[in-house]
Amino acid sequence: ANGYYRSRWNKCIHSSRDFSDMVFVDNYIFNKDVHIQFNSTVGEFVGYTALGVHNAELWNKDTTGLQQERAQVDSFCKHNAQIRQ
């Protein structure tokens, strides 16, 4: 609304058939630029803009939310990959 565009996409990436290298990436996008990203190999949110850095610092202090995001590799990625395989 009002000319602003917000979206979010997440993706599971892997190259081995046993899913041992599975990575979960969760992007928060504002006006077509990623401003916050969670990558399961990093294990926390990373901000790429001033607002993104500020919000990533706040979100990383929320241990419950951070644990839920980290668990997405098993509960979302590996689960769905096993079904599709």
Domain boundaries, the chain: 6-84
Spatial strand order of the sheet with 23-30 comes to: 6-13, 23-30, 33-39, 44-47
The β-bridge partners of 10 are: 26
Q: Is the pLDDT of residue 85 over 90?
A: no
Report pTM.
0.85
pLDDT of residue 32: 87
Question: What's residue 44's pLDDT?
Answer: 97
Alpha-carbon Rg of the chain, whole angstroms?
14
Write out pLDDT tens, residues 2-60.
788 899 999 999 988 888 899 999 999 998 899 999 999 999 999 999 999 999 999 99
Render pLDDT for 64-78 as a digit per residue (tens, 0 to 9): 999 999 999 999 998
Tell me which residue of 46, 48, 47, 38 sits closest to 68, measured CA to CA: 38
Q: Please state the φ and ψ torsions of residue 32, each to the nearest 5 degrees.
A: 70, 10
Contact of 36 with 28, CB cutoff 8 Å: yes
**Assigned CATH for 6-84:** 3.10.320.10
